[in-house]
Structure 1
Amino acid sequence: MSWVTLQSKRLKKARYNVGRQILEVRIQGEGTVKHHNVLPHMAENFFKTSDPDFYYRYYLEDSRVVSPMRGILQTSGWVAKAVIILAAAWLLSYSSLSDMSVLEASNITTTRPAVQ
């Protein structure tokens, strides 16, 4: 199972394990990506095609397996962004409410109405 260099700008190298039907592709900027249950004829066509980007995008990209750690990191990133946005919204609403209460308290007078 040796790496084969691909004629592509985005896809750098690939290798296929026939016994396990796993295709591994090294993608620029993403690292190595595994694809399980790739049939031998699909891997052969992928290696022989003149446009590996097209073949990968339309036939193989959907079978991509994301490692559990990468999935956790992506999820934690979204959670962190949501927490930051909610905290900012809470701070903005709290500061505007506290400003309003100060204004309302300063407008209250303790004078008694005039008796006629």
Structure 2
Amino acid sequence: MTIQVGDSIPSVTLYERTPDNKVNTNEFCKGRVIMFGLPGAFTPTCSKDHVPGFVKLVDEMKKKGVTEVVCLSVNDPYVMAAWGNTLDTAGKIRFLADTHGEFTKALGMTVDLSSVLGNVRCKR
């Protein structure tokens, strides 16, 4: 079942930049956080449209009280870090890796893309 407004965020470990930099969802899911999930780093549509769309709106969202914007994908942390660097998101959007899809599954946001991306991924 997909997470609904008012549901608690499940406590899961995600990774930022390296496998040693563990981030528990309870650490950043306080306040007004916008989190968006994407099926894969460096995918054309996500790289050309989705992430840049959020980058354009970060300042506006923060003026409205958003404390953090987070991009989540079922990828490894190195790939997520490289993707964020490529899209110039430093200081704007955190890129977090859900390496085994545990958080994505707990949110009910999985999609089986094994035929094209090799495994289960996060829905948009």
Q: TM-score, normalised by structure 2?
A: 0.20
**Greater relative CO, 1 or 2 (CA 8 Å, sep 6+):** 2
What TM-score do you get using the length of structure 1 for normalisation?
A: 0.21
Q: Which has the higher helix share?
A: 1
